[in-house]
Amino acid sequence: MARKGHRPSHAPAGRPRFWGRHAVTAALANPERIVRKMWATREALASLDIPPVIPITFADVADLARLVPGDAPHQGLVAEVDPLEDVWLGDLLDQGAGDRRPLVILDQVTDPHNVGAILRSAAAFDALGIITPDRHSPPESGTIARSASGALEIVPWVRVVNLARALEEVAEAGFWRVGLTGEATQTLAQAMGETRVALVLGAEGEGMRHNTAAHCDELARLPISPKVESLNVSNAAAIALYAVTTRG
């Protein structure tokens, strides 16, 4: 049977390495995640129940530091994993058909720390998932997993070839698409209404592309002080998700 909806991109080649207790234990707990091998100190493994099929290499702290980016806080745990299977947009929209969970759509947000932090906020506020273009978005990585603090394993992440077409499909599913931009005249509270909301956020610095903004139903801003020019995109996403979740 043909899969429904906008097709995802192909998963990036290669296997990422995750590090740190939150990222590694969340990967181990995710039945959809294949963990290929692990490196760990004996102390870090003492409190973990590792499936016997996963090869483990005992290592000291200095050896583990050579397996991850410089100064990465590995906490004695490193794992090599397969990227998660593609999530199809149509399937995600079907999963949210009966509720009011928001969507988060990122237009060329490239910093993996920001993407990870947004995944964490999406998990905290029970978002349906996040959507990114396959180009100009980071692949799964240890940095994202660490910043997401386990949320990479529980928040569906849809990668799409054409973001404008995906935005059209989101609208057809009943979402009100609100693009966040500092130039907007109305606030998010004024723009989001009572329907299900898809929050659209643009890239660090450049903001949303014109074509992305054209595919939003409303443009809105966060009511921040004029003393501050703008917020980091991950901070803006967290505040916007809170506003959507707590609206009257």
Cβ atoms within 10 A of the Cβ of 91, count? 16
At residue 98, the pLDDT reads 86
At residue 71, the pLDDT reads 79
Residues 6+ apart with CB under 8 A from 233: 106, 109, 114, 118, 201, 202, 203, 204
Total number of residues shown for the chain: 248
Cβ atoms within 10 A of the Cβ of 100, count? 15
Enter the DSSP assignment of 174: T
Separation between Cα atoms, residue 243 and residue 248, nearest integer Å: 10
Dihedral sign (CA 120, 125, 129, 131): negative
Q: Could you write out the DSSP letters of every residue in 123-171?
A: HHTT-SEEEEESTTSPPS-HHHHHHHTTGGGTS-EEEES-HHHHHHHHH
21 closest CA partner among 2, 6, 41, 37? 41
The tens-digit pLDDT sequence of the chain (248 residues) is: 334 444 444 444 579 999 999 999 999 999 999 999 999 999 999 888 898 999 999 999 999 999 998 878 899 999 999 999 999 999 999 999 989 999 999 999 999 999 999 999 999 999 999 999 998 899 999 999 999 999 999 999 999 999 999 999 999 999 999 999 988 999 999 998 889 999 999 987 788 999 999 999 999 999 988 888 888 999 999 999 999 999 86
Cβ atoms within 10 A of the Cβ of 4, count? 13
Q: Scan for tokens 């149509």, then name that residue.
A: 90
How far does CA 90 lie from the centroid of its chain? 18
At residue 13, the pLDDT reads 54
Q: What is the pTM of this model?
A: 0.91
At residue 204, the pLDDT reads 79
